[in-house]
Amino acid sequence: MKLQQLRYIVEIVNQNFNITEAAEVLYTSQPGVSKQVRLLESELGINIFERNGKHIKGLTPTGAQIISIARELLLKTQGIRAVAEEETHPNKGSLRIATTNTQARYVLPSIIEKFKAQYPEVNLHLHQGSPNQIYDALMLGEVDIAITTEAQYLFESAVLLPCYLWNRSVIVKPDHPLAKQNQKLTVEELGKYNLITYTFGFTGRSDLDHAFNKVGILPNIVFTATDADVIKTYVRLGLGVGIMASMAYTKDDVDLVAIDASHLFQSSMTQIAFRRGMFLRNYMYDFINYFSPHLTKMRVEEAEQLRDNSAILRLFEKITLEEK
Amino acid sequence: MKLQQLRYIVEIVNQNFNITEAAEVLYTSQPGVSKQVRLLESELGINIFERNGKHIKGLTPTGAQIISIARELLLKTQGIRAVAEEETHPNKGSLRIATTNTQARYVLPSIIEKFKAQYPEVNLHLHQGSPNQIYDALMLGEVDIAITTEAQYLFESAVLLPCYLWNRSVIVKPDHPLAKQNQKLTVEELGKYNLITYTFGFTGRSDLDHAFNKVGILPNIVFTATDADVIKTYVRLGLGVGIMASMAYTKDDVDLVAIDASHLFQSSMTQIAFRRGMFLRNYMYDFINYFSPHLTKMRVEEAEQLRDNSAILRLFEKITLEEK
DNA sequence: AACGATTACGAATGCCGTAATAATC
DNA sequence: GATTATTACGGCATTCGTAATCGTT
């Protein structure tokens, strides 16, 4: 069994069982990959891949288990390299982040600017996707860090650190009735209008639905989007009232009015995640710390020792209380 | 980076930083090992080993981290092989168990007999040691399964399954006053005699101390041993009253009298442990099941999904309740 | 017919072992 | 002086790439 052979079989799976493409990605020849796969299979005495004559169709049940172990194993080789690089080039390397639109567009820019200034030699890769995609990218080792506000249950097998609470604002044009009234906004009132908000599974949408359910109102949601820019665009077209993360309302949005709605909906939590047992470069700790100042290296390490994410939540609730 | 190179550096650590011995254990030549180590170090650009001129003294801090990752990584290669062997030779392989004296001497024989009959082609290795040694052997991958009755806190990073509760008996010679009295035994009464029991850290000794502490009696423990045979020997010599696991009193002990003491001391729990994430061969599940009938493959798998051992305990408390 | 996997073969690399050397205890 | 690590070097195995072949879609 060779590390290369494991790299080969994992890459074949990644490339949808196409050895030719896998060979290209690996900068090697098709026959070489094919041969090493057969060698590994004969060494283990089993078929990893399900074949139809000469064509690979998929994984055998045993093969699927082996791929899963091989993936973890290859991640550990990256860990060894990272440990070594931390000593040889502590300020050099790459930081791969997966996140959703809201973070990428409104929260991360200033943090990345600061980070870039501190670590000019770290290559930053930012991948935007749905919570599910973010989770997959994290677990397949395609990114080092995930930032998410949704589907915390997905990340049970990762280390999930609470970053900050955020609230929603209602967005309307200045001539809209809601912009003129002085009374405090109610959920009932919002229910009267056409609403534009996030697509289900994005940016705290589940918390929002929950608030309407609780008062027994079926909201009239006419448009949904995965990002606030689209929401604002449709509000500007007069198609409805927008509900989005307050941080997505910026000083450039002079043609829109934001009405605080933090009293209507439960606060949502933005969280940062990484794979359990992963070696974190020092600059990664720093990035996490820039993103969320209470997440010092010491506290992150302490949190990782805890067995599940609810214990991590309790830890930080305690820390917040003590600081007050 | 090659798997062999990782095997080499780990084995050098195992052999106390002696490359010559490591080479012997690996059935290869000293220069070959030495060269591969230098190659790996130069590939990573760091020193794994602390050197004094040409002699290896120990690990660098970075090296220590790398060894730790390399160990986990090599365990995963064993996992891949195990998955393959499960398909090629489901009834063939090895089962390495670490346990304490009491289990090895009084509990396991009948189970091993049954297991051997079922799986004649599985090589059994039984290692006896202190709870600490058992834990180390398990975590270093030297054994597949650990059976323990002590120091559960040590096994937090493993999967720890509750097997059965057991109690203690007081062992005396037939002419001893305790053998003749008909009243129920009390802790106070026991405190009057010289006692012989387990060494601290073995076979539920901590539970025993706890019982004396609770009633504020300082027991007069004159001999301690790691196994019941030694305890019985000293009782036979008339040196004191023995307190040991009831299961260690067998039909061969006709010259001794056992007095049930389950009402005096809290029951102790025997537990079975394996590394989290380890691939268990089917015969291993069967062994666990023979050892503890309520631990079916399904329940063991379910328990492993849980995040910590207290959750596993709760799961089995629930199962026990439902069965009643 | 085109694409994709395997086989065949030659070149190059790399690993391993013996022998010799150097350094430490 | 004995033990232990490194260097040198030659043989062997393995891997990799190109070219050709075979099968599938």
* Residue range B10-18: mean pLDDT, rounded: 91
Question: Which residues does chain A have within 8 Å of residue B76's beta carbon, measured at their own beta carbons?
Answer: 69, 72-73, 76
B150 vs B313, higher pLDDT = B313
Indicate if A168-260 has the same CATH topology as A3-82: no
* Residue range A110-128: mean pLDDT, rounded: 94
pLDDT over threshold 90, residue A238: no
pLDDT confidence bin for B323, thresholds 50/70/90: low
Question: Which chain A residue is nearest to residue B73, measuring alpha carbons?
Answer: A73
What pTM value is reported for the model? 0.88
pLDDT over threshold 60, residue A315: yes
Instruction: Answer for B54: CB within 7 Å of strand D.
Output: yes
> B168-260, superfamily in CATH?
Periplasmic binding protein-like II (3.40.190.10)
Q: What is the DSSP string of B237-297?
A: TTS-EEEEEGGG--TT-TTSEEEE-TTTSPPEEEEEEEETTPPPPHHHHHHHHHHSTT--H
> What pLDDT is attached to residue A152?
80
* Residue range A220-229: mean pLDDT, rounded: 87
User: Over chain A, what is the mean pLDDT?
Assistant: 90
A69:B279 CB<8 A: yes
pLDDT confidence bin for B282, thresholds 50/70/90: very high
- Domain map (residue ranges) of chain B: 3-82, 94-164+270-323, 168-260
> What pLDDT is attached to residue A323?
65
> What pLDDT is attached to residue A126?
93
A73:B70 CB<8 A: no
* Residue range A202-206: mean pLDDT, rounded: 79
> What pLDDT is attached to residue B271?
93
> What pLDDT is attached to residue B324?
56
Cβ count near A143 (within 10 Å): 24
> What pLDDT is attached to residue A324?
56
* Residue range A294-323: mean pLDDT, rounded: 87
pLDDT confidence bin for A64, thresholds 50/70/90: very high
Mutation test of the interface with chain A: which of B41, B83, B282, choosing the one with the most A Cβ atoms within 10 A? B83
Of A25-34, B94-103, B195-204, where does mean pLDDT reach its minimum? B195-204
The full 3-state SS of A33-70, as one line of letters, equals: HHHHHHHHHHHHCCCCEEEECCEEEEECHHHHHHHHHH
pLDDT over threshold 90, residue A271: yes
* Residue range A107-112: mean pLDDT, rounded: 91
> What does the angle CA B202 – CA B208 – CA B214 come to, to the nearest 5 degrees?
145
Provide the shortest C-alpha distance from residue A117 to chain B (in Å).
26
Query: B69 in contact with A at a CB cutoff of 8 Å?
Result: yes
> What pLDDT is attached to residue A313?
87
pLDDT over threshold 60, residue A5: yes
Using one digit for the tens of pLDDT, what is the confidence trace for A253-264? 889 889 898 888
> What pLDDT is attached to residue B59?
92
Neighbouring-strand partners of residue A184: none
A94-164+270-323 fold: D-Maltodextrin-Binding Protein; domain 2 (3.40.190)
* Residue range B157-175: mean pLDDT, rounded: 91
Which CATH number does B3-82 carry?
1.10.10.10
CA diameter of chain B = 77
> What pLDDT is attached to residue A221?
87
Burial of B27: CB neighbours in 10 Å, binned 0-12, 13-18, 19+? exposed
